[in-house]
């Protein structure tokens, strides 16, 4: 086994949605970047995801906006409805209105389809799968990264885009398990034939609400309407499993949401395979970087998915971090990291707080502060 050390300018740890965006943006800004991902290969993981105009503007810069627009669904509204009566609680205009007011499309898409487009946009010889980080050694002029497969890499800067269980975060702050938030989400792609068989017209983006903030967010994940997905939010006492998710069932969905509005019942009836996931929390961080290490996304501000902005915040982080490094250059990275944190902290914490409270768009409100934001032109600092 070779013990040679590869030398690179910037290492991005994690090639998920935030990490892939960071690698693309940094490379586009002229930096030499390599991504290291612990998964053995790309896989179409997860299910639905919302991408707001705030992030479609970033994808325009990367050169993948049009492709994602072609794949994804374009809801004209975000509807919030009472889960029992079906009464409309809010109608938030998106679609053409959003393109005009916020400067880009609002799409809902399968997370795996979007991730594939992001990975394809990167130079393939710079994305390294099967690289699980096992050790980090901060040195005077670089950071020495050791991977489980024996490879060693010396990087000038390290971007931790490695999620809520971030090893970079553990390095900076010491190991600390995330806390269970008291919520689980059921996730399912429903049987479209069964759904259509109900004879009901399904809205392309709707959130059904019950007491105690229980909810089902349901939406199309393809522009042709061939895929429909839902994710729930259900308060529970504890999470007893060691795995990241467990199988659920139509019976469990029926037990929780049975007796609701006929459209909800049709969703439950069209459920075949459904999984159940815990939502984890951490407190807002007082430290986003140290030395040559910097974090983005869930590594530094994980949030419940109730605002549909978790991945969007990671990708916004990537855009702002890139701009700060462009401004300072590699040599003055510590100035860049300070500017990055100063620019991002308030917005990320606000989104984290509202996501955790689960109030977003339940009542009529103006979402422009989220959707009209442009990370490519927003003031730094």
Q: Which residues are catalytic?
A: 50, 219
The residues near 64 (Cβ < 8 Å, ≥ 6 apart) are 117, 118, 121
CA distance 224 to 109: 11
CA distance 15 to 20: 5
Cα–Cα distance list, 83 to 87, 183, 217 (Å)? 8, 18, 11
The closest of 264, 170, 156 to 210, measured between CA atoms, is 264
Cα–Cα distance list, 60 to 112, 197, 349, 374, 376 (Å)? 19, 38, 26, 11, 10
Beta bridge partners of residue 133, listed in sequence order: 147
Instruction: Please give the full DSSP string across 234-291, using - where no structure is assigned.
Output: EE-S----SSS-EE--HHHHHHHHTTS-HHHHHHHHT--S-EEEEEEE-PPPS-SEET
Report the DSSP pairing between strands 5-13 and 205-209. Answer: unpaired
The residues near 104 (Cβ < 8 Å, ≥ 6 apart) are 53, 54, 56, 57, 60, 65, 98
CA distance 285 to 293: 15
Match 């949401």 to its residue by tokens. Answer: 257
Cα dihedral value 301, 307, 312, 313, nearest 10:
-30
Other Cβ atoms closer than 10 A to 282: 21
Does residue 293 sit in helix, strand or coil? strand
Other Cβ atoms closer than 10 A to 315: 30
């Amino acid at each position: 086994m070779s013990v040679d050390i590869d030398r690179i300018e910037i290492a991005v740890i994690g090639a998920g949605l935030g990490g892939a965006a960071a690698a693309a943006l940094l490379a586009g800004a002229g930096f030499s970047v390599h991504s290291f991902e612990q998964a053995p290969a790309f896989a179409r993981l997860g299910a639905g995801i919302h991408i707001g105009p705030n992030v479609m503007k970033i994808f325009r810069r990367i050169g993948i906006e049009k492709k994602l627009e072609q794949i994804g669904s374009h809801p004209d509204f975000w509807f919030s409805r009472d889960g029992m009566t079906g009464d409309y609680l809010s109608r938030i205009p998106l679609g053409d209105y959003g393109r005009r007011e916020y400067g880009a499309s609002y799409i809902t898409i399968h997370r795996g389809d979007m991730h594939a487009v992001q990975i394809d946009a990167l130079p393939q010889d710079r994305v390294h799968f099967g690289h699980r980080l096992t050790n980090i050694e901060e040195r005077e002029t670089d950071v020495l990264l050791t991977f489980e497969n024996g490879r060693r890499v010396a990087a000038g800067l390290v971007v931790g885009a490695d999620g809520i269980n971030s090893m970079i975060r553990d390095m900076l702050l010491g190991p600390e398990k995330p806390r269970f938030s008291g919520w689980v989400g059921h996730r399912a792609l429903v049987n479209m034939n069964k759904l259509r068989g109900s004879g009901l017209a399904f809205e392309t983006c709707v959130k059904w609400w019950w007491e105690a903030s229980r909810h089902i967010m349901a939406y199309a994940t393809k522009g042709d309407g061939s895929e429909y997905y839902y994710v729930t939010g259900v308060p529970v006492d504890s999470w007893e499993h060691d795995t990241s998710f467990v199988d659920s069932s139509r019976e469990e969905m029926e037990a929780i949401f049975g007796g609701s509005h006929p459209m909800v019942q049709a969703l439950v009836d069209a459920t075949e395979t459904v999984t159940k996931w815990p939502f984890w929390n951490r407190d807002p961080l007082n430290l986003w970087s140290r030395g040559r290490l910097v974090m983005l996304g869930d590594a530094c501000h994980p949030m419940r998915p109730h605002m549909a902005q978790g991945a969007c915040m990671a990708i916004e982080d990537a855009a702002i971090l890139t701009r700060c490094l462009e401004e300072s250059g590699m040599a003055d990275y510590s100035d860049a990291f300070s500017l990055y944190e100063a620019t991002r902290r308030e917005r990320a914490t606000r989104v984290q707080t509202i996501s955790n409270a689960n109030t977003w768009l339940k009542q009529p409100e103006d979402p422009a502060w989220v959707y009209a934001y442009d990370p490519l032109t927003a003031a730094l600092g």
